[in-house]
Amino acid sequence: MTTTPEEVLSPEPTSVELGLESVEKPRSMFRRGWEVFAENKLALAALVFLVAFILLCYLGPMFYHGNGTQSDMEAVTLPPGAGHPLGTDENGADVLAQFFKGGQLSLNVGVLGGVISAVIGTLYGAISGYFGGWLDAVMMRVIDALMSIPLIFLLIYLGMIWGHDATLMIWVIGLTGWVGITRLIRGESMVIKVRDYVAAARMMGGSGPHIIRKHILPNTIGTTIVNTTFSIAGSIFYLSTLSFIGLGLESPHADLGGMLNDGTQFVDQGYWWMIYPAAIAIILVILAFNVIGDALRDAFETRLQKR
Partner 1 sequence: MSIEDYRSEAISTTSVGTAASGTEPLMSVSGLQMHFPVRRGVLHRTVGTVKAVDGVDLTVHPGETLGLVGESGCGKSTTGRMLTRLGEPTGGSIVFEGRDITHMSQGQLRPLRRDIQMVFQDPQSSLNPRHTIGTIVGAPFAIQGVEPPGGRKKAVQDLLSLVGLSPEHYNRYPHEFSGGQRQRIGIARALALKPKLLVADEPVSALDVSIQAQVVNLFEDIQAELGLAYVFIAHDLSVVRHISDRVAVMYLGKIMEIAPRDDLYGTPRHPYTQALLSAVPLPDPDRKGEEASRERILLQGDVPSPLNPPSGCRFRTRCWKAQDICAAQEPPLMQIGGVRPTGVEHKVACHFPD
Binding region for partner 1 (CB under 8 A) = 1-4, 6-7, 12-14, 16-19, 21-22, 26, 29, 195-197, 199-207, 210, 214-215, 218-219, 221
Smaller CB distance to partner 1: residue 88 or 122? 122
| Torsion from C-alpha of 173, 179, 185, 186, nearest 10 degrees | 150
Task: Count CB atoms within 10 A of the CB of residue 131.
Answer: 15
Shortest Å, Cβ 31 to partner 1:
12
Smaller CB distance to partner 1: residue 18 or 145? 18
Smaller CB distance to partner 1: residue 31 or 79? 31
Shortest Å, Cβ 197 to partner 1:
4
Smaller CB distance to partner 1: residue 19 or 163? 19
Helix (H, G, I), strand (E, B) or coil at 302: helix
Smaller CB distance to partner 1: residue 14 or 148? 14
Burial class (CB in 10 A: 0-12, 13-18, 19+), 177: buried
Task: Count CB atoms within 10 A of the CB of residue 24.
Answer: 7
Listed in sequence order, the residues at least 6 apart from 25 whose beta carbon sits closer than 8 Å to its beta carbon are none
Shortest Å, Cβ 33 to partner 1:
13
Smaller CB distance to partner 1: residue 4 or 148? 4
The Cα–Cα gap between 111 and 81 comes to 33
> What amino acid occupies position 30?
F
DSSP 20-31: PPPSSPPPPHHH
Shortest Å, Cβ 26 to partner 1:
5
C-alpha distance across the termini of the chain, in Å: 26
Nearest alpha carbon to residue 169 among 150, 185, 142, 151: 151
| Torsion from C-alpha of 68, 71, 75, 81, nearest 10 degrees | 0
Shortest Å, Cβ 293 to partner 1:
22
Shortest Å, Cβ 231 to partner 1:
22
Helix (H, G, I), strand (E, B) or coil at 84: strand
Smaller CB distance to partner 1: residue 157 or 197? 197
Shortest Å, Cβ 190 to partner 1:
15
